[in-house]
Amino acid sequence: MATSSSKDIQRSHTKAVIDNFTNIYFIGIGGIGMSNLARFFLSKNKGVAGYDRVSTQLTKLLEEEGAAIHYKDDVQSVPKQFMDAQTTLVVYTPAVPSTHTELVYFQENNFAIMKRAQVLGEITKLSNAICCAGTHGKTTVSTMAAHILRQSKVDCSAFLGGILKNYKSNLLLSDNSNITVVEADEYDRSFHWLSPWIAIITSANPDHLDIYHNAANYRESFEKFTSLIREDGYLIMKENIPVTPKCHPSVKQYSYSLSSGDFHAENIRIGNGALLFDFVYPKGKINDVELGVPVLINVENAIAAGAAAWLSGVEPEEIKSALLGYMGARRRFDIRCKTDKMVLIDDYAHHPDEVEASISSIRKLYDNKKITGIFQPHLYSRTRDFADAFADSLSLLDELILLDIYPAREEPIEGVTSQIIFDKVTIKNKTMCSKDDVLDLLKKKQREVVVTIGAGDIETLLPEIEKLCANN
């Protein structure tokens, strides 16, 4: 008599968790990670509704796709069909405070409640999951890997932490592939719910110290992540990251970097608006790979994404072709406007290393242009913990316009404002400015290359700045 394997039992349990509910209610539905889960359940013909603090382009799209969304924390606003604890699963993001009225109601009335990461983790157990983690680079690498796989015979589904411009979505679904690409978020140790087949670690520079408190705890969290890789899996890790893998002995480990490792680049050429390199992998070399988004920092990202794709069975020529056609993720070094007189770039960078990498890449592309950066710090705790490093990174600009801190999930911390960064920035051409006054200030400035930087709501300025660019 045939018996079920432990993996079969695990997958059956996971499928039950997803299938036992006809309605899914999201608290914080407009977040980039929450919205792709909402889209997933809409594709499964589940009832989907949710709350978010503000209406955005993304929430409007979700409403058009069938989700019922409201913007006031009020139990009376929850649609009636989602008030049945037997048929409704509640999904929430850790960014939602524990005092949230709706969350408290669902807790007190015995609803099934799961964190976003738990639900995503259950989904990864149903497939071969490629999970990309790292302080920075994970969105670009995961979107690149997903695009390469989609453009190959291998194919994939994907839950992404950014809107992939090739598909105008953060969710890709396939009926033909058992591979799922996932951005593995380390915030609140969310990536510990995942079950990777292939794990990628791009970086482990300390961040989220409001959660981890120190660098040692942060790096230990990545080591725990490596222990979750299944026994027949792979680890792809950037060289010289201070993380000691805790993988099962059967897991195959590979290194990568820009210029050395099992996967790396050679013969990098930048010029005339193009970027080419040779992709070196364990069994050969792909010559003259051209990046569709020709930014130097994307070469290393492409190496990591190409490594995961190659281990998944994608052919070298398929990797080459897909990277040329990759359009990038929205808000990741996103060139929004380009004229003879002005260039506008938008970047989600919110860690000092990311800010430095972004500005350095812009400098290489536009070495003879004045670079004006508009930076919105994200979180009081991150501003407090990295004020010196932010100041060093922002001092690479020719001109800085510094906005107030975007608080996101946090309450103010006494003595922590944008001023503590501003005072340490060494360039003379710097201005503190409210978000409401940015456009008027920009109109008075010489505008050559303008970059908006930050993970808050700075993107709401882009439509009007784009008009300035177009009419410059």
pLDDT per 10-residue tile (average), the chain, 472 residues: 36 59 95 92 95 88 96 95 96 88 96 92 91 91 97 96 90 95 89 95 83 88 96 96 95 97 95 87 97 88 98 98 92 84 89 89 85 94 93 97 88 94 96 93 90 90 87 76
Task: Note the pLDDT of residue 111.
Answer: 95
Residue type, 220: E
Beta-bridge partner residues of 270 = 275
Query: Is 185 found in the same domain as 100?
Result: no
pLDDT computed for residue 469 by the predictor: 82
- Please give the structure tokens belonging to residue 69: 């969304």
Strand order in the sheet with 343-347: 334-338, 343-347, 449-453, 371-375, 399-402, 430-432
Q: Taking a C-beta distance cutoff of 8 angstroms, is the pair 304, 256 a contact?
A: yes
**For residues 144 and 305, is the Cβ–Cβ distance under 8 A?**
yes
Indicate if 294 and 154 belong to the same structural domain. yes
Contact indicator for 345, 336 with CB cutoff of 8 Å: yes
Assess whether 141 and 102 both reside in one domain: no
Residue 3 lies in a domain: no
Measured distance CA(199)–CA(14) in Å, rounded: 21
User: Is residue 200 domain-shared with residue 284, that is, in the same domain?
Assistant: yes
Placement of tokens 């109109």 in the chain: 443
The domain in which residue 18 lies consists of: 8-114
Query: Does 102 map to a domain?
Result: yes
Interaxial angle between packed helices 138-150 and 316-325, expressed in degrees from 0 to 180 and rounded to the nearest 10: 120
Give residue 187's pLDDT: 80
- SS3 call for 52: coil
8 A C-beta contact, residue 372 and residue 448: yes
Secondary structure (DSSP) of 72-102: S--GGGS-GGGG-TTTEEEEE-TTS-TT-HH
Which backbone phi and psi does 299 adopt, to 5 degrees?
-65, -50
Residue 1 within any structural domain of the chain: no
Tell me whether residue 32 is in a domain: yes
Q: 287, 302, 325: which is the final residue of a domain? A: 325
Q: What pLDDT shows up at residue 17?
A: 63
Rounded CA gap, 206 and 462, in Å?
A: 30
Does residue 122 form part of some domain? no
For residue 387, the domain's CATH number is: 3.90.190.20
Please compute Rg for the chain using Cα positions. 22
Q: Is 93 exposed, middle or buried (0-12, 13-18, 19+ CB in 10 A)?
A: buried
